[in-house]
Amino acid sequence: MEAEKSSAGAETTQEAKGGPTVVTSTNKKEALRAFKVCRVDGCKNPHHARGLCHEHYDQEKRKAKACKVAGCAGAVAHRGLCLAHQDYVPESKAKAAVKAPEEKAEKAPKAKKEPKPKAEKKPKAEKPARMGQLDAAVLVMGRTPQTCQEICAAIKAKGLWESKKGKTPDATLNAAIRREIKTKGAESRFACPERGKYCRA
């Protein structure tokens, strides 16, 4: 009998003669839950919180938050609305959705901006044409045969032409004179009376 009483927990009670019911269980919380039931009339489910069972406690929590639709007392189910008003759209949003196309239609089209007149470009000053090496050589050379080194030195002395990057202007001049003699023949401005020496034709 003692084992049955210890396993029963909250049910192990005895009545004293002419006295109140005495709890014999060592677990007071289990004993209190055994005596407490839901305070709703006709409900015999065990107590959960605030004097209510699980079912009625959830119902009370939902009633505390009523549906946000005016005049509706339904319990909130989702997003502040009851089950009957899940597809509800507020009037402000509905009006905005209707007015939006009308407002767009009433707006006058934007006037096109006139293109700004382009500023007149100032004519660039024409740079004088730079004299080529062969043209400078013609002005320097005479009938006396000269080497390309001598011709380049004379051109540099008179300031007619100067090489910007080339390190061997005499070799460049030699190749240019030979090319002109070969291509133009009798019409060439240069002649080669001796090997490596040139004069005017």
Specify the pLDDT at position 88. 67
**Hey, CA dihedral for 135, 140, 143, 148, is it positive or negative?**
negative
Q: pTM for the complete prediction?
A: 0.38
What is the tens place of the pLDDT at every residue in 127-147?
777 788 888 999 999 889 999
C-alpha span between 68 and 89 (Å, rounded): 11
Mean pLDDT of the residues in the chain: 75
C-alpha span between 65 and 72 (Å, rounded): 11
What is the tens place of the pLDDT at every residue in 149-194?
999 999 989 888 888 888 899 999 999 999 999 999 889 999 999 9
Q: Report the percent of the chain where pLDDT is more than 90.
A: 20
What is the tens place of the pLDDT at every residue in 74-88?
767 666 777 777 766
- Mean pLDDT on 97-109: 58
Letter string b/e over residues 132-165, b meaning 16 or more CB atoms within 10 A of that residue's CB? ebeebbeebbeeebbebebbbebbeeeebbeeee
